[in-house]
């Protein structure tokens, strides 16, 4: 798969990991941009050629042709469509390297906000950079801004070469938070440009104030820094993959409740020996868009492992024992209920008999980082148990009235929830 792009992928991986090791070398940001842009443009032009071929085949006269001709025509259209899908996936992969630039300089928890729209749904991704066989008119001023920023020692990334940055045209990465820049090439204004301006303004205020009275449908949103140093097992995962590529099968258990498995061939007997229980959540990692907005695999995997991952030369599973997850919270005096309802993974509380004293839900997106970023369950439970560390405060009637959206009742459906792993 993607063998024709292998050399370009290797070059991108080596450039990105060299930059990761020496982020002060901004000339590498420029080199990586040029490489990614060329790769994206070539891929887009191939897609456009395929689409023209498919249109020609589809437009051919359909009357008075033999069954054999009709069959061959359908097979040709299907082949062209499959090829187009493969190239579209390649565009996603190229942008994973652009994501890598952003994540080298900015917190993953800050960058995730550039992935969602005002309703906390993934915002529409970048469109084609080319039109009628050429780069679009708006590209030149964006590229000039990129060059100027690098000359002034400011790391930046063009939004169009990323999957994660879905606002503005250029994202400056040198500050405490990402800074979205819109490069105006036209004075035309309409309802859409007005909405975009408003979304950028709200994001900028959210970053500046570490929260907002209202943000993406939620009220009194506050941004809190992690209190503990993150514990991750990326090196163990990479060792597991490297061994599997040599021996066809490898497993690793970095801590109770987490098992990694990498394999190049299916072996049912070895799989059965893992002894996975009823409470095991199995997550198969893949170089697909469902990895977003986690830390990119182009950074977390070694260059050799990442290339093999992209080429699907091995399968990699993360097995999480949800019973152990619950035990990890319980050791910290927190009662966890496993939901996995499509939105929330866990509901946690220290007082299940009275949720008004404190209850919190961990989203599936946040919980999935245990698998996609090789995080520790023990660290995860310790970090997110601390949401209950604040002191309870009794408010006067006047104070309560002054707080926007003060919750006076447990949200509907949060009481008497059933654990999805319960007997």
Backbone angles phi, psi at 218, to 5 degrees: -110, 155
Q: Is 22 among the domain residues?
A: yes
Same domain, 244 and 377: yes
**pLDDT at site 244:** 97
Q: Is 393 among the domain residues?
A: yes
Same domain, 213 and 281: no
Q: Is 322 among the domain residues?
A: yes
Average confidence (pLDDT) over 262-286: 91
Instruction: Report the candidate in 21, 13, 48, 238 with the shortest Cα–Cα distance to residue 127.
Output: 48
Same domain, 294 and 214: no
Q: Is 250 exposed, middle or buried (0-12, 13-18, 19+ CB in 10 A)?
A: buried
Same domain, 240 and 217: no
Same domain, 271 and 416: yes
Same domain, 256 and 175: no
pTM of the model: 0.91
Q: Is 396 exposed, middle or buried (0-12, 13-18, 19+ CB in 10 A)?
A: exposed
Residue 251 has pLDDT above 50, yes or no: yes
Q: Is 7 among the domain residues?
A: yes
Q: Is 227 among the domain residues?
A: no
The residue among 222, 256, 291 that closes a domain is 222
**pLDDT at site 310:** 96
Average confidence (pLDDT) over 242-249: 97
Contact 138, 169 (CB under 8 A): yes
> Which residues neighbour 318 within 8 Å (Cβ) at sequence distance 6 or greater?
258, 259, 260, 282, 283, 285, 370, 371, 374
Number of domains in the chain: 2
Same domain, 197 and 145: yes
What is the tens place of the pLDDT at every residue in 369-386?
999 999 999 999 999 999
The residue among 168, 198, 222 that closes a domain is 222
Same domain, 396 and 271: yes
What is the tens place of the pLDDT at every residue in 157-214?
999 999 999 999 999 999 999 999 999 766 667 777 777 888 889 899 999 999 888 8
Average confidence (pLDDT) over 263-269: 90
Same domain, 217 and 240: no
Q: Is 203 among the domain residues?
A: yes
Residue 400 has pLDDT above 70, yes or no: no
What is the tens place of the pLDDT at every residue in 46-62?
999 999 999 998 888 77
**What SS3 state is found at 293?**
coil
Distance CA 388, CA 347 (A): 13
Same domain, 395 and 257: yes
Instruction: Report the candidate in 52, 125, 42, 136 with the shortest Cα–Cα distance to residue 90.
Output: 42
**pLDDT at site 399:** 46
Q: Is 9 among the domain residues?
A: yes
Query: Domain limits at 75?
Result: 3-222
Q: Is 228 among the domain residues?
A: no
Same domain, 76 and 169: yes
Distance CA 280, CA 274 (A): 11
Same domain, 251 and 313: yes
The residue among 222, 246, 279 that closes a domain is 222
Average confidence (pLDDT) over 76-88: 94
């Amino acid at each position: 798969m993607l063998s024709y792009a292998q050399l370009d992928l290797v070059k991108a991986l080596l450039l990105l990991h060299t930059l990761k090791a020496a982020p002060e070398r901004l000339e590498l940001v420029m080199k990586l941009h040029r490489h990614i842009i060329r790769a994206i443009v070539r891929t887009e032009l191939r897609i456009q050629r395929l689409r023209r071929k498919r249109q020609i085949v589809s437009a051919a006269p359909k009357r008075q042709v033999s069954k054999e001709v009709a069959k061959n025509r359908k097979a040709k259209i299907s082949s062209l469509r499959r090829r187009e899908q493969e190239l579209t996936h390649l565009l996603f992969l190229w942008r994973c390297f652009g994501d890598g630039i952003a994540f080298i300089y900015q917190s993953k928890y800050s960058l995730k906000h550039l992935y969602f729209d005002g309703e906390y749904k993934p915002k529409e991704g970048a469109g084609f950079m080319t039109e009628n066989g050429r780069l679009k008119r708006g590209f030149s001023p964006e590229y000039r801004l990129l060059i100027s920023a690098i000359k002034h020692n400011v790391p930046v990334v063009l939004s169009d070469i990323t999957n994660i940055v879905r606002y503005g045209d250029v994202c400056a990465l040198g500050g405490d938070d990402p800074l979205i820049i819109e490069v105006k090439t036209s004075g035309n204004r309409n309802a859409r440009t007005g909405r975009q301006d408003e979304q950028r303004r709200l994001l900028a205020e959210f970053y500046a104030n570490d929260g907002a009275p209202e943000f993406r449908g939620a009220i009194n949103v506050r941004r809190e820094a992690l209190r503990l140093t993150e514990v991750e097992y990326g090196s163990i995962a990479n060792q597991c993959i490297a061994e599997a590529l040599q021996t066809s099968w490898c497993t690793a258990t970095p801590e109770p409740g987490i098992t990694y498995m990498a394999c190049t061939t299916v072996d049912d007997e070895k799989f059965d020996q893992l002894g996975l229980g009823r409470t095991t959540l199995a997550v198969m990692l893949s170089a697909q868009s469902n990895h977003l907005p986690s830390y990119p695999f182009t950074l977390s995997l070694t260059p050799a492992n990442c290339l093999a991952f992209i080429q699907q030369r091995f399968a990699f599973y993360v097995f999480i024992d949800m019973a152990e997850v619950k035990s990890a919270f319980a050791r910290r005096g927190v009662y966890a209920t496993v939901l996995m309802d499509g939105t929330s993974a866990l509901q946690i509380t220290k007082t299940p008999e009275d949720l008004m004293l404190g209850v919190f839900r961990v989203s599936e997106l946040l919980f999935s980082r245990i698998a996609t970023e090789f995080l520790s369950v023990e660290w995860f439970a310790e970090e997110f148990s601390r949401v209950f560390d604040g002191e309870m405060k009794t408010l006067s009637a006047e104070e309560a009235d002054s707080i926007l959206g003060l919750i006076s009742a447990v949200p509907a459906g949060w009481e008497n929830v059933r654990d999805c792993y319960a007997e």
